[in-house]
């Protein structure tokens, strides 16, 4: 079975509980002396076996690291891990999942080989918003309900609003709409991408 490590929780005697996103579920598994194994770390893709004991959490066994070349680039790893942390918080109470979430990470991990990590994270987030029906393409401000103008601001979860309502960074409305429709950042300048990343860090 394959999956991405979304969180590790240390216990006594260097044991850990590991949250792993697989093709169709979010598993919580127990690993003896897991803190000693560097491959069981936030954001890592692993191959593993699950062993049920009928008493406590199933055990994590026979772990193999399925690595990517970009894992030696700390700037890419940082962005990847921040996105993974936010995804875990978003899915915290979920056990069964649509295959979409695993495939989103698969695609993102492949893109990280060559693309700007901030752009990869934003494009993954656009895909997530679209899948969950939260890609707000409405024409009204989520704060006051009035019609939007050419200049807009973004709130947490990329909700659209007037700059005077949100008092945040200002974007061209068409740039944001194009991003939400296309799920691409090619048309966005680097400074816009950095501003949007800062908003994404507020939470998925």
Averaged pLDDT, 9-15: 86
Q: What does the mean pLDDT of the chain come to?
A: 93
Percent of the chain whose pLDDT exceeds 90: 80
Q: What is the DSSP string of 154-188?
A: E-GGG-EE-HHHH-S--EEHHHHHHHHHH---TTS
Q: 1-114 falls under which CATH superfamily?
A: Nucleic acid-binding proteins (2.40.50.140)
CB-CB contact of 200 with 178 (8 Å): no
| Confidence class for position 62, pLDDT limits 50, 70, 90 | very high
Percent of the chain whose pLDDT exceeds 70: 97
Strand ranges of the sheet holding 151-154, from the earlier edge strand across to the other edge:
160-161, 151-154, 171-172
CATH 2.40.50.140 positions along the chain are: 1-114
Averaged pLDDT, 172-181: 95
Say whether pLDDT at 73 is over 90.
yes
């Amino acid at each position: 079975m394959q999956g991405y490590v979304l969180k590790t929780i240390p216990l006594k005697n260097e044991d850990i509980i590991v949250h792993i996103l697989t093709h169709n579920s979010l598993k919580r598994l127990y690993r003896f002396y897991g803190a000693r194994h560097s491959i069981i770390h936030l954001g890592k893709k692993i191959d593993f076996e699950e062993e049920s004991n009928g008493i406590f959490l199933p055990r994590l066994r026979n772990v193999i690291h399925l690595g990517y070349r970009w894992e030696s680039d700390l700037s890419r790893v940082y962005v990847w891990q921040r996105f993974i942390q936010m995804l875990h918080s978003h899915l915290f109470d979920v056990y069964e999942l649509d295959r979409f979430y695993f495939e989103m990470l698969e695609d993102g991990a492949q893109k990280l080989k060559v693309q700007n990590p901030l752009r990869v994270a934003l494009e993954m987030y656009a895909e997530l918003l679209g899948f969950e029906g939260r890609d707000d393409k409405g024409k009204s401000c989520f704060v006051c309900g009035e019609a939007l103008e050419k200049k807009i601001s973004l709130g947490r979860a990329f909700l659209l609003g007037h700059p005077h309502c949100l008092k945040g960074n200002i974007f061209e409305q068409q740039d944001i709409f194009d991003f939400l429709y296309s799920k691409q950042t090619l048309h966005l300048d680097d400074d816009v991408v950095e501003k949007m990343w800062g908003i994404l860090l507020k939470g998925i």
